[in-house]
Amino acid sequence: MAGDSALLVLLARALTYPDAATPALVAECSAAGRWAEPAAAAELALFAKALAGDTVDTMQERFTQTFDFDPKSTLDIGWHLFGENYERGDFLVRMREALAAHGLEEGVDLSDHLPNLLRLLARLPPEAAAELASASIVPAVEKILAGLDGRDTPYEHVVKSVHAAASGLAHATAGEAPHG
């Protein structure tokens, strides 16, 4: 699971608002093919290629346009699963507790923000990671991908990579082959 953990942390970083460290991150994404799961690595390579040569300002603009203006593509997993219902509040509390139990801080985003959950997945035991991936992350990421359909954004590649990685985790414990 060490390779899975490194991939999950890399994906979390790729889905965090771009800053001065993002160009180096893009280079890491490009090199992920040497160690990451093939489907996830292929999408990360496409992401890196799409952002090659962009300034941090351009990356920030692309990120904001992708995830902040349309709720269909928000990175808040609980919103995709529950909308603004009570169940989302319960999910937020459970994710906050899980993050704290594994030494992770929410930061400025809510506990159900996808980068937070990817970092959590990287630290969970395999069975718990499989459960969180299959019950929450995979279904929500599928909704995010549907929300991104037809939009020209390099971040779609990162979300597809997350889907590949989370699907692999969800099915690894069950001994099933991941869905593509």
For the stretch 8-34, pLDDT in tens is 999 999 999 999 999 999 889 988 878
* pLDDT number for residue 175: 52
The pLDDT of residue 170: 86
What CA–CA distance (Å, rounded) separates 162 from 39?
10
Residue that is written with structure tokens 């991939």 in the block: 7
Buried b (16+ CB within 10 A) or exposed e, 149-165: eeeebbbbbbbbbbbbb
Give me the residues of the chain with pLDDT under 70, please.
Answer: 1-3, 173-180
- Domain coordinates in residue numbering, the chain: 2-172
Distance CA 111, CA 108 (A): 9
pLDDT at 178 (0 to 100): 44
- Whether residue 138 contacts residue 34, with contact meaning beta carbons closer than 8 Å, is answered with no
The pLDDT, as a whole number, for residue 179 is: 44
Half-sphere exposure of 158 (CA within 13 A, CB side): 31
- Fold entry, domain 2-172: TorD-like (1.10.3480)
Model pLDDT, residue 99: 97
